[in-house]
């Protein structure tokens, strides 16, 4: 049996937990909604329980755990920075809680970097030398991989390309980053839902909007078209700056 790793994906809307081989094969997984109001440790202990239960059910032994987390993550120290989506998770509570519960090595990184490295090794970016991966969900995460390594800025920080301004004339509400018209505030799933609520007075999720678009609803088709234009502007900017061999689009909104 291959070495089995615990894989944890922590986003603003969901927590997904799985078992993965060293070759990137997913053996088992489960997910549930994120509750940002919970104390960090209280929210993290169920992750450890899920990993233990899945390992027992699949008769495998975990050798370590890797976590991809929304927001700023210090990879070297396994600490989470100030996080708009998970305000109670700042610091080392994630890594230390999982180590305490599982008695295994635990690593954490920004989810955009984790996604990009997974795609680079086993997915859309395999065999490329210069690769960009952008994920669209609650927010927008972007990572650049070059010659087997993700690009990191000062102190190991990851690029926040989701907060580049793509519309200086935008009248949308400012993003939590402080900018008005940044990519995340216009092209994320959250942005699409806010735009629909403002224009149609109805609070629904992205999936409902896209389901209606597939059924031919004119308002939903226009919402998807607007979203597509905003996604396209950001992608074109990044291609101009980095000129990658492969540009991968992922995340819940792409689904």
Cα distance between residue 158 and residue 250, in whole Å: 18
Other C-beta atoms closer than 10 Å to the C-beta of 236 total: 11
Q: What average pLDDT score do residues 48-53 get?
A: 96
Residue 9's nearest CA partner among 24, 29, 37, 38 is 29
CB 22 within 8 A of CB 122: no
Instruction: Name, in order, each residue with C-beta under 8 angstroms of 168's C-beta and a sequence gap of 6 or more.
Output: 181
Dihedral (Cα; 112, 113, 119, 121), 10-degree rounding = -170
DSSP lists the bridge partners of residue 29 as 18
pLDDT at 15: 93
- This prediction has a pTM of 0.86
3-state secondary structure (DSSP) of residue 118: helix
Looking at the chain, list the stretches that DSSP marks H as alpha helix, in order from N- to C-terminal side.
Answer: 40-57, 93-102, 111-122, 183-187, 189-200, 206-214, 218-242
DSSP lists the bridge partners of residue 8 as 17, 67
pLDDT of 252 over the 90 cut: no
Residue 1: band (very low, low, confident or very high) from pLDDT cuts 50, 70, 90: low
CB 33 within 8 A of CB 52: no
Q: Which two tokens stand for residue 111?
A: 């989810």
pLDDT tens, 20-46?
998 889 999 999 998 888 888 999 999
Dihedral (Cα; 159, 75, 134, 166), 10-degree rounding = -20
């Amino acid at each position: 049996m291959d070495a089995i790793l615990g894989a944890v994906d922590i986003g603003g809307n969901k927590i997904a937990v799985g078992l993965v081989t060293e070759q990137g094969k997913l053996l088992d997984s489960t997910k549930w909604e994120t509750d940002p109001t919970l104390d960090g440790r209280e929210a993290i202990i169920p992750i450890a329980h899920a990993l233990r239960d899945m390992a027992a059910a699949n008769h495998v032994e975990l050798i370590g755990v890797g976590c991809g987390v929304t927001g700023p993550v210090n990879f070297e120290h396994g600490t989470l920075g100030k996080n708009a989506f998970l305000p109670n998770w700042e610091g080392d509570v994630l890594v230390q809680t999982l180590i305490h519960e599982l008695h295994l090595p635990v690593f954490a990184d920004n989810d955009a970097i984790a996604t990009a490295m997974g795609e680079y090794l086993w997915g859309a970016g395999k065999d490329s030398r210069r690769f960009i991966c952008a994920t669209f969900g609650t927010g927008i995460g972007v990572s650049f991989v070059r010659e087997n390594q993700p690009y990191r800025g000062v102190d190991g920080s990851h690029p926040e390309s989701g907060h580049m301004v793509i519309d200086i004339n935008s009248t949308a509400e400012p993003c939590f980053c402080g900018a008005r018209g940044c990519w995340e505030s216009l092209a994320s799933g959250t942005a699409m839902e806010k735009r629909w609520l403002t224009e149609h007075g109805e609070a629904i999720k992205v999936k409902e909007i896209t389901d209606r678009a597939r059924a031919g609803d004119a308002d939903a088709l226009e919402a998807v078209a607007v979203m597509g234009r905003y996604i396209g502007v950001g992608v074109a900017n990044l291609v101009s700056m980095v000129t990658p061999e492969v540009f991968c689009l992922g995340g819940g909104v792409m689904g």
